[in-house]
A and B are shown apart, each in its own frame.
Chain A
């Protein structure tokens, strides 16, 4: 029982970080029907930027989010304006897949050329510390990472639910034509939403770099997980992504402890398939356009 509880703690903390990574992906899909398969590569790019700031200027990775996030926002807006905006045809979804995949490969190539393929890790003084609470070990870094994820997801929620821009986003998600008629500048909304989606990768990357060693090829594993989280949560639903990420974290940790690590990823996919059979739209799929 002790092990299961320990696994649940770990799973929830890990799931929180994946929720942060997946929220940007699902937001971008909700607003513009673009499956940004470069999200994993953008997380790794952010991990490198955060690592570089830590190595060269000793800036704590959690603080470096304040520097990296605006850069990633600018990158996201630029990518949307230059590559995605022009895709207005019926094949925009498929073409955006190709464009974002090319972006992922481009980022991987550049990172490989600049930083080589050696694994890197942002090793802060507290990277290996843990608290012992009622006999359970809670990793300090994971707790910080979880807290950061919660803060950013709450900010994202407030932005979407309580601001004029958020209303514009939701209007664009629900009915782009009507939103346009009501004076919403859909182009601007799409560009800014893509930028926000990409900038969530900044926080996720900073955290990823502290938790796991990474190299330019690490995005392949990451994007497959993120896509499965987004599908399980319901495409376009940030709340669904959070729920799915937490479920993934807990299921994988418990199966790794109680059965075998060989089955941990597989078991999550079994859960994914079963839920999709019962509810093809995912957890929050029916409300996917309302966020």
Chain B
């Protein structure tokens, strides 16, 4: 009996050693024309991030259809193997382990959100897979300093509002705000964004009259808004996620306080949801930031929007930016495969560290740890529609300031 057990143990140990080796060899499987190659992805198809997970899935699947219609990758048809991680950072690790070691997929793409991307990227790195990913733009991902990560948005999340500071500083001094308030959510993707804007604007002489960080369980923002409204700042910069952004706007309307400039890092950049949450008539003049918009002039965007609407229906305003980010992830791989003429992950990683990569998210390029080196777009609600307004090169409408009173514009 003990011999049998010993044999089982040895076999299992050998298998444990052999699996990463075979997987690693799978990761650099060279090229083989005319076959089907599988790309493994873990997505949040249930749980807290399921809406975004499904949006990412639509983007990936659309890219698969488009690439296959154009002959696939080096003549190989692309198949996606998508596993549900239930929005769990533990399950996502298991899923990528399975995809790489058991399913031996040729490539992997990233999941949704930094929370899941950070552990997933580590798994991919262990097996020497390129980790092109659409939604992990937070410090937790780049803090790992992995060489295989490539975030397919124009800028890391915490730099996303720099473009607003640049816009304000581009105004003549007489038209700039003199005072500013910075109410921010206690969230790694909210308060650091507002902090960066504050640093830039303070340096330029715009006085901070109020700043606070409110905890995520704060459902009622009226006391905070009444506090900063009493100080009458010209500018309000909110480091926000969606629901607190809606709550701030609602409280401002109720307290009849309308600053000359209002920037909220998240919330107003969702054209499908924002008007319904705060009232269509209250959106005008509000600034936000974003990585992609339906009317964006980025390379291939028109074709992407057309193909998306053909496949999924609806209007262009209903396309979740996450779908575009996922599509761009596929585009990056497609370009890298074409450039290296190889399906080898190592060669693709090396190639992506050099040059510029045109996608629907703009022309992307990364530093050594996968942080994109571009800039997000500044967007503003003008005449009840969301437009990219700055920088000028991508603007579809000139920025309008000061913000009209609530219900006007």
Contacts and interface: CB of A to CB of B under 8 A. Distances in A.
A123 B278 CA distance: 7
A54 to B, nearest CB: 11
B144 interface: no
Interface in A106-136: 112, 116-119, 121, 123, 127-130, 132
Contacts of B254: 128-130, 137, 139
Contacts of A211: 220
Given A3-B230, A130-B256, A117 B51 contact: yes
Contacts of B29: none
Q: How large is the interface on B (under 10, 10 to 19, 20 to 34, 35 or more residues)?
A: 35 or more
A261 B250 contact: no
A253 B256 CA distance: 19
A127 to B, nearest CB: 7
Contacts of A137: 226, 254-256
Interface string A33-47: 000000000000000
Contacts of B278: 123, 128
B247 interface: yes
A118 B250 contact: no
A279 to B, nearest CB: 26
A116 B87 CA distance: 13
Contact of A128 (B50, B215, B224, B279): B279
Nearest to A220: B217
Contacts of A213: 242-243, 246-247, 277
Interface in B18-76: 46-51, 54
Nearest to A139: B254
Contact of B277 (A119, A217, A254): A119
A14 interface: yes
B393 interface: no
A256 B226 CA distance: 10
Contacts of B224: 256-257, 261
Contacts of A139: 222, 254
Interface string A249-272: 000111011001110110000000
Contact of B46 (A14, A112, A256): A112
B223 A2 contact: no
B239 to A, nearest CB: 13
B276 interface: yes
A137 to B, nearest CB: 5
A144 interface: no
Contacts of A217: 48
A265 B217 contact: yes
A6 B225 CA distance: 11
Contacts of A90: none
Contacts of A10: 220, 222-223, 226
A123 B276 contact: yes
A128 B253 contact: yes
Nearest to B241: A119
A140 B2 CA distance: 78
Nearest to B257: A137
A7 interface: yes
Interface in B257-315: 273, 276-279, 282
Interface string B207-232: 00000111101111011101100100
7 contacts: A117-B50, A123-B279, A130-B253, A137-B254, A213-B243, A262-B212, A265-B218
A116 B230 contact: no
A20 to B, nearest CB: 15
B212 A260 contact: yes
Given A128-B282, A221-B217, A256-B224, A116 B51 contact: yes
Q: Which 4 A-B pairs have the closest CB atoms?
A: A256-B223, A261-B214, A128-B253, A213-B243
Interface in B189-216: 212-215
Interface in A1-35: 2-3, 6-7, 10, 14
A127 B278 CA distance: 9
A83 interface: no
Interface of A: 2-3, 6-7, 10, 14, 112, 116-119, 121, 123, 127-130, 132, 137, 139, 211-213, 215, 217, 221, 252-254, 256-257, 260-262, 264-265
A265 B215 CA distance: 9
A264 B223 contact: yes
Contact of A7 (B226, B242, B250): B226
Contacts of A121: 246, 276-277
Nearest to A128: B253
B226 A3 contact: yes
Contacts of B406: 128
Contact of B50 (A116, A123, A252): A116
Contacts of B219: 212, 221
Nearest to B242: A119
Contacts of B255: 130, 137
B246 A127 contact: no
Given A6-B226, A132-B256, A257-B226, A127 B49 contact: no
A10 B220 CA distance: 10
Contact of A257 (B48, B227, B250, B253): B227
Contacts of B277: 119, 121, 123, 213
Given A3-B226, A123-B279, 7 more contacts: A118-B51, A118-B273, A128-B253, A254-B223, A257-B224, A261-B214, A262-B215
Contacts of B247: 212-213
Nearest to B246: A213
Contacts of B186: 262
A179 to B, nearest CB: 40
Nearest to A217: B48
B245 to A, nearest CB: 9
Nearest to B49: A117
Contacts of B279: 123, 127-128
Contacts of A118: 51, 273
Given A119-B243, A261-B218, A262-B213, A127 B250 contact: yes
A212 B279 CA distance: 14
